[in-house]
Amino acid sequence: MFLKICDSHSVNVRRLSCSAIGKLQLKSAVPFLVDALQDPKPQVRQYAIKALIR
User: What is the pTM for the complete model shown?
Assistant: 0.85
CATH number of 2-53: 1.25.10.10
What ranges do the domains of the chain cover?
Answer: 2-53
CA distance 48 to 42: 10
- Which pLDDT does position 36 carry in this prediction? 93
- Which pLDDT does position 5 carry in this prediction? 60
DSSP states of 6-32 as a string?
HT-S-HHHHHHHHHHHHHHT-GGGHHH
Question: What digits encode the pLDDT tens for the residues 6-39?
Answer: 677 899 999 999 999 999 998 998 999 999 999 9
